[in-house]
Structure 1
Amino acid sequence: MGRVVLEKLLDSGIDVLALARPSSRSAMPTRPGLAWAQGTLDDADAIGKAVRQTDAAMHMAAQHDFHMQKLDWAAITAIGQALEGTGKPFIATSATPVYGHTGDEPRDEHEPVEHPHPLRTFRLQHDRFVIGLRERDVRGVVVRPPLVYGRSGGFLVTLINQAIEDRTARTIGNGTNRWSTVDVDDLADLYVRALLAEDAYGAFNAGSRDVVSMKVIAETIAQSFGPKIPVGSWTEQEACARLGELMALMSLDQHVSSERARSELGWNPRATTLIEDLSHGSYRLAPLVPYSH
């Protein structure tokens, strides 16, 4: 996701100073308007130095392990401190599981969030911190994507590889839970719009109008990456033991409304649907990009 947002920013004529781990710096792309700084999410000095050289900050990095909460807090507090008193924007990244089970009715951004998922309660607290930076003269924006797909990447690759390895595409339970979805290019467009809209503030859901069940995703993976891959199921405990805590989140209903982004930012997702992309799009035409942890 970060690389696609970076591409969209540069294509929009916006110069970017991007942060990269020292170990990965040699693999980073080079383009006019792009400069690199070295640092990690818990390197407050490197983050602060980079942010103070810029007119805005974006945070999309995550480490999906037991360090995730600590590292995310370190990054957002360092960015907030560097921007304090400047009036500049800070665009941070959350995710729709902060709402917990949404049920059948699409969930918008209103507060309070009554039942956040236990694995993402910290994320909701971090969202509120970023939005609350308004009191310190920082324009805080939080983007909440649902299931991100496209460019043969994202968490779908984990599900595809699991199905190929086990010769069974799996759901958690009966798989009737549904997720709002967003193509990574449409999502990147939302980040740029949130940056450029001078009055954009607060939380924005980032889902297209396409909502799909996990059962249909599993069936499409079985058909597209077979032959002879049946659809089976796991319990939540089995899924977490095999693929980690992110699988617990995949058992949620995640139906969200993104009308605020459409009405206030003019955002209009245009990409092909997740099922179309899985069936005959990027996931079939390009090498799969491993999901990064």
Structure 2
Amino acid sequence: MMRENQRVLVLGGTGSIGGPVADVLRRRGHQVTCLARSESSQQALRAAGFNTIRGDIRSPDDWTGRAGEFDAVINAASTWSDDEAQVERRLVAKLLQAFSTPDAGRTVIYTDGCWSYGATGDTIATEDTPFDPLPEFASSIETARQVRDSRQVRGMIIYPAMVYERDGGVLEQMADDARHRDRVRIVGSADVRWPLVHRMDLAVLYALMLERGEAGAGFNGAGIVSMQVGRIARTLATRFGKPDDLEVLTVDEAVRDIGSWAVGYALDQQMSSAKAVRELGWVPEHTDILAELS
């Protein structure tokens, strides 16, 4: 069943993931409303032509009463805080309640991530690969399971790779180092591999899931199966005229200098999106990150 002209509520519509998702959905003919936490976010979203609802993902009771106005909700929001797991559990529980219908006529798409697979090494993770998350990110497994197992919504999960844009997303810290420091910092080893996806390619995958995905489905989102972090960092350093002698941080040093999320940067991973290509017709356009960064 192809779902067209959906009324979609996007959570995180000013973010690195949610912003492109909102844009792509609108271009594909869907009616998009974005949750706006602040007055400035609301003004920016309205200036971009989106409908808005004022609200915070920390307080879903304040705005989920309007769920009846929408056919679908896409959660691409994050608090990036120590209590994120608790916030997500409350949020998803409320979304499942608010969007439930006897015939599962509404859609809930939940964003998990590649870190749920843990370090895959030479194994290329697929949607059938067992999860092995770091303790810091383990709670999302159960939250995602609740979405997929719901019989009152069409629940789906997306597992994005490391999301990037030129000098942004997961590359923002490296690019900032290349501009302002003597050396670019990486975590763990130059040989660590990341699966990657450009944020615009990822936005298209969300749209295809909304339009074509089956209830209970999960899809990996990786436009690039893997790339050594050292190659990425050296490419950035060269472009900004810095030496390619990288500064390698231990995980503990990275958490101290960059933040708690840096623990995931040391995971050596590979990830395939063959399922999304096969079942949804997803065709990523950004598949040569080194050329983009040069």
TM-score, length of structure 1 as denominator length:
0.88
Corresponding residue for 1:219?
234
The partner residue of 2:47 within 30, 38, 56 is: 30
| Aligned residue pairs, count | 275
The partner residue of 2:155 within 140, 155, 160 is: 140
- Contact (CA 8 Å) 1:149, 1:274: kept in 2 or not? no
Unaligned runs of 5+ in 1: 280-293
* Counterparts of 1:159 and 1:198, CA distance in 2: 35
1:9-48 map, 5 Å: 9-23=25-39, 24-30=41-47, 34-48=50-64
- Contact (CA 8 Å) 2:71, 2:105: kept in 1 or not? no
* Counterparts of 1:62 and 1:210, CA distance in 2: 24
* Counterparts of 1:241 and 1:119, CA distance in 2: 15
1:225-236 map, 5 Å: 225-228=240-243, 230-236=245-251
For the pair 1:68 / 2:106, whether they are aligned, the reply is no
Corresponding residue for 1:282?
none
DSSP 3-state at the match of 1:187: helix
- 1:18-52 deviations in Å (ceiling 9; x for gaps): 101133322224355x3100000022223412322
- 1:54-109 deviations in Å (ceiling 9; x for gaps): 01111000011112112222221111111112421111111100111111121111
- Contact (CA 8 Å) 1:150, 1:274: kept in 2 or not? no
Label 1:77 to 1:163 Cα distance change in 2 as closer, same or farther (>3 A): same
For the pair 1:127 / 2:170, whether they are aligned, the reply is no
Q: Structure 1 residue 116: deviation in Å? A: 1.5
Corresponding residue for 2:12?
none
CA root-mean-square deviation: 1.8
Label 1:41 to 1:72 Cα distance change in 2 as closer, same or farther (>3 A): same
Q: Structure 1 residue 198: deviation in Å? A: 5.1
* Counterparts of 2:187 and 2:214, CA distance in 1: 41
* Counterparts of 1:129 and 1:200, CA distance in 2: 12
Corresponding residue for 1:161?
176
Corresponding residue for 1:270?
285
Corresponding residue for 1:291?
none
For the pair 1:172 / 2:190, whether they are aligned, the reply is no
Q: Structure 1 residue 151: deviation in Å? A: 5.3
Q: Structure 1 residue 170: deviation in Å? A: 2.0
- Contact (CA 8 Å) 1:140, 1:202: kept in 2 or not? yes
Corresponding residue for 1:98?
116
Q: Structure 1 residue 112: deviation in Å? A: 3.8
* Counterparts of 2:35 and 2:106, CA distance in 1: 18
TM-score, length of structure 2 as denominator length:
0.88
- 1:175-219 deviations in Å (ceiling 9; x for gaps): 211111111111000000000015353211000144211111111
The partner residue of 2:107 within 83, 89, 93 is: 89
- Contact (CA 8 Å) 2:188, 2:248: kept in 1 or not? yes
DSSP 3-state at the match of 2:195: strand
Label 1:241 to 1:3 Cα distance change in 2 as closer, same or farther (>3 A): same
Label 1:99 to 1:228 Cα distance change in 2 as closer, same or farther (>3 A): closer
Q: What code does the residue aligned with 2:245 have?
A: P
* Counterparts of 1:206 and 1:228, CA distance in 2: 32
